[in-house]
Chains A and B, each alone.
Chain A
Amino acid sequence: MQTSFTAEQLRDPAIAASNQVLRTCVHCGFCTATCPTFVLLGDELDSPRGRIYLIKDMLESGRPATGDVARHVDRCLSCLSCMTTCPSGVHYMHLVDHARTVIEETFRRPWHDRMLRALLAAVLPYPGRMRAALAAARLGRPFAALVPGSTTLGRRLRAMLALAPRGQMPRSTLDGVRTHPAEGTRRARVALLAGCAQRVLDPGINDATIRLLTRLGVEVVVARGAGCCGALTHHMGRHAPAMASARANIDAWTREIEGDGLDAIVVNTSGCGTTLKDYGFMFRTGEAALRERAERVASLVADISEFLVRIGYAPTREPPGLTVAYHAACSLQHGQRVTEAPKLLLRKAGFRVVEPAEGHLCCGSAGTYNLLQPEIATRLRDRKLQNIRTTAPDLIAAGNIGCLTQLAGGGLPTVHTVALLDWMAGGPAPAGLKPAPPATGTR
């Protein structure tokens, strides 16, 4: 597609990169059809091709972002379905990330929007603060009915209260900073991204990952200094804190790589995995040494399902006779193009795997999206649950905490893929499922 940046503008590396993306787009429109917001709203402006055009216009003009552009870019879920569809290989993710940064820097949002975003950016990446906030939210839930419903603010507040987990908030027993030795002979050594929001919302996921990996002969280290991957702030256009989080991780894992060595950096929250794999791009304009470290870290990142396929997984229990609806998280299927590994593993573990219709459409979770855009998020969730129910499963499995939280409460248990794999390989039954079938040794 034609662009009209001046030579001056193109000296800015961010503009140069976006120009490259824009020039790859041939405006064929294929991506519109698989975009969740276009499907729901039926407006070119809420489609990838329309957003690309709005962003092009904003960047070319060099003027501050307007409310119109912010509105349509804010509605984008960053689900990256458009990237899977695009025959031309347009890197929409880099373009929209750039646009979000420009919007954040040049557009003044209404006060309540600013407040909410600042709050989310200050709480979610920090497990301690998040735990405190959720405890407060649980106290607040009985008052949800009192929150005025008609305002954007009111709807968002209620969306937040609704997400707070209902039962006790258990803590992980395993995922603190330490090294978990492999059982038997060590076959590999990996770092685990212990994450931020996930370890508060469902600490069982990290526990299951560590148990399963060590049982398979993998040494697992939770590195000192590693924390939030930066995705949460990155997707809100908050460039500096996102880069700082990423930098801390790169430093922490580089120490491990150069120390006892790492065969992989394993991620069990696919939303984070997409960002980790992009560290090389994020630091492309930094000094050479940092760029190389970022690229090395990014090249080691593997989703837990990818890694398990690589080292081999086998169950030790009888098949549980359960039908699992596999929900493909967008960050896994579109962001990382990991589509077959989780299904393969679940089948191997003895589950019957069904795939709901419209599997390419986002469930509406999308990081903080369900808090910032509750209406669209709820419509997408209901549509997703409807498609899942049609397959009559016993439970839903997914590889991303955001999706699991979003789809919980729909009448079906939601369980992380790795928790099911761990269960069938000797671990405890995931919460909400029947007790484990008997062990049979190796099958």
Chain B
Amino acid sequence: MIAQPAPKQEVLARRDAIVAGLRRLLPESGVIAEPIRLRPYETDGLAAYRQPPLAVALPETTEQVAAVLRFLHEEGVRIIPRGAGTSLSGGALPMADAVVVGLMRLNRILAIDYADRCATVQAGVTNIGITQAVQGTGFFYAPDPSSQLACMIGGNVGMNSGGAHCLRYGVTANNLLGLKIVTVSGEIIDIGGAHLDAAGYDWLGLLTGSEGQLAVVTEVTVRILRGPEGARAMLAAFRANEVAGACVDAIISSGIIPVALEFMDRPAIHACEAFAHAGYPLDAEAMLIIEVEGSPAEQDFLLSRIREICERHDPISLKVSQSAEESAAIWKGRKGAFGAVGRISPDYLCMDGTIPTGRLPEVLRRIGEMSERYGLKVANIFHAGDGNLHPLIMFDANDPDSFARAERFGADVLRLCVEVGGCLTGEHGVGVEKRDLMDAQFTPTDLAQQRRIKDAFDPLWLLNPSKVFPLVETLKQAA
């Protein structure tokens, strides 16, 4: 279990008054305080870590968010912003003395401007909800986390989320134009807007990926893009993880940038096929999903070059999708991949680190060795094109020893990423999961500078305080 700072006793003692205060600010259904009803809010997409909050507030407007934050700030109560609760690093994990502020009721599309190619939506609109709102006219919102069906744009900003197609289109930060935020003391501030380069400091850059620690986002203006003329996916099956890894490196170093380049190993292929019936190669040890887009001629050209490279790696099979339905099934399998692993294991820890693609074969081999050593199976599913690994470590949460081994295994994987010149986080954020590994990546001076930014926005360390920074340091800071 992850360590949490000690709850503030004086806040726990004032629980009833705090709840009553929230009830004065929000409609009746917007405040949850009964112990039984708090339980479902005790965790997010990283269900191994759990802690029921003091209360949950569900505001419906920016003004209500501001009123709630102002009140909690005055009362000295910690605040956990929450979107859809799909974080895989425990970013939305509550604390016993904190109020969870859920943004899911802010779920309206506010404005769509096709001429200037941007859309303004509230923070609780799902990622796919933006694309659904504009796709009738041939547009889409590019960053596509696998969780896009459920995760909310506010959470995407919180984690600077990426996805399969970010190889070509960039992550959340590259597609963001403006934010409406509420500061911890309840001030409403607009940043950026429906134009490219905002005046002054790059506040957007600072706030994106700040994991709910600097401010609460209530509105987001994103760039929308016109969809490509067409796209086609190819499935390439290989005899070994390392071979598929080498093929990824060969494609990237040839200078071709497909729109997506995804990797799955044997356990993942089987679990996903059971869910999506996409025609994945069940005889393969590893598989790549490679997507190209553009005019039919462009697609043919790129696919033929990629095919040549694949053929040099002794593939078991190479198959190009023949229809839109087939492509949809291929992506349904990939996007449902983590959930589908639930079919073969009751629980998993999803790692998220990045490495230089040249080191893929070696890293995959060493993860395989760790899997033997810890006696836990691994499914590898990841955004191979940008070296963003997601080994899923399978364990049984009803067996405490298996969970302890999974945690140690996970930490080893992330240290390995740093060792080969990569990074602790790819796109899932630090959260609580990687908090205590931050000093493997950063020097004490680095971390001190980062904490000073948090100090400036939130001097009392009320906003999501137990995340991102190693706990001891956090406590010192808050004291």
Contacts and interface: CB of A to CB of B under 8 A. Distances in A.
Does chain A bind chain B? Answer: yes
A68 B340 contact: no
Nearest to B104: A42
A2 interface: yes
Contact of B40 (A34, A42, A50): A50
Given A45-B32, A54-B36, A30 B342 contact: no
A66 B149 CA distance: 32
B62 interface: no
Given A42-B58, A42-B107, A68-B36, A89 B275 contact: yes
B361 interface: no
B147 A28 contact: yes
Contact of A42 (B124, B275, B346): B124
| Residue of A41, A88, A90 with most chain B CB atoms under a 10 A cut-off | A88
A251 B341 CA distance: 40
B465 interface: no
Interface of A is mostly: helix
Interface in A37-62: 38-39, 41-45, 49-50, 53-54, 57
A88 B32 contact: no
Interface in B276-293: none
B348 interface: yes
Interface string B14-47: 0000000000000001001010110111011101
B47 A44 contact: no
A319 interface: no
Interface residues of B, number: 44
B258 interface: no
A87 B342 contact: yes
A3 B398 contact: yes
Given A30-B336, A32-B84, A87-B339, A2 B149 contact: no
Contacts of B44: 27, 29
A69 interface: yes
Interface residues of A, number: 38
Contact of A24 (B41, B45, B147, B342): B342
A29 B86 contact: yes
Contact of A45 (B40, B126, B151, B337): B40
Interface string B328-341: 00000000111111
B41 A44 contact: yes
A26 interface: yes
B47 A1 contact: yes
Contact of A43 (B29, B147, B338, B397): B29
Looking at B107, B126, B339, B340, the one whose CB has the most chain A CB atoms below 10 A away is B339
A1 B343 contact: no
A26 B338 contact: yes
Nearest to B340: A87
Nearest to A34: B149
A88 B339 contact: yes
A316 interface: no
A54 B40 contact: yes
Interface string B92-130: 000000000010110100000000000000001010100
A180 to B, nearest CB: 38
A33 B342 contact: no
Interface in A277-306: none
Given A2-B398, A66-B36, A33 B150 contact: yes
A43 B339 contact: no
Interface in A1-41: 1-4, 23-34, 38-39, 41
Given A26-B347, A33-B150, A89 B39 contact: no
A289 to B, nearest CB: 32
Interface in B388-407: 397-398
Interface of A: 1-4, 23-34, 38-39, 41-45, 49-50, 53-54, 57, 66, 68-69, 72, 85-90
Given A26-B348, A28-B338, 16 more contacts: A2-B48, A26-B339, A26-B341, A26-B346, A27-B44, A28-B86, A29-B151, A33-B84, A42-B58, A42-B105, A43-B32, A45-B32, A53-B39, A66-B36, A89-B274, A89-B275
14 contacts: A1-B347, A2-B398, A25-B342, A28-B150, A31-B150, A32-B84, A42-B58, A42-B104, A44-B41, A66-B36, A86-B339, A87-B336, A88-B342, A89-B275
| A-B pairs, 5 with minimum CB distance | A88-B342, A87-B339, A87-B336, A2-B397, A42-B105
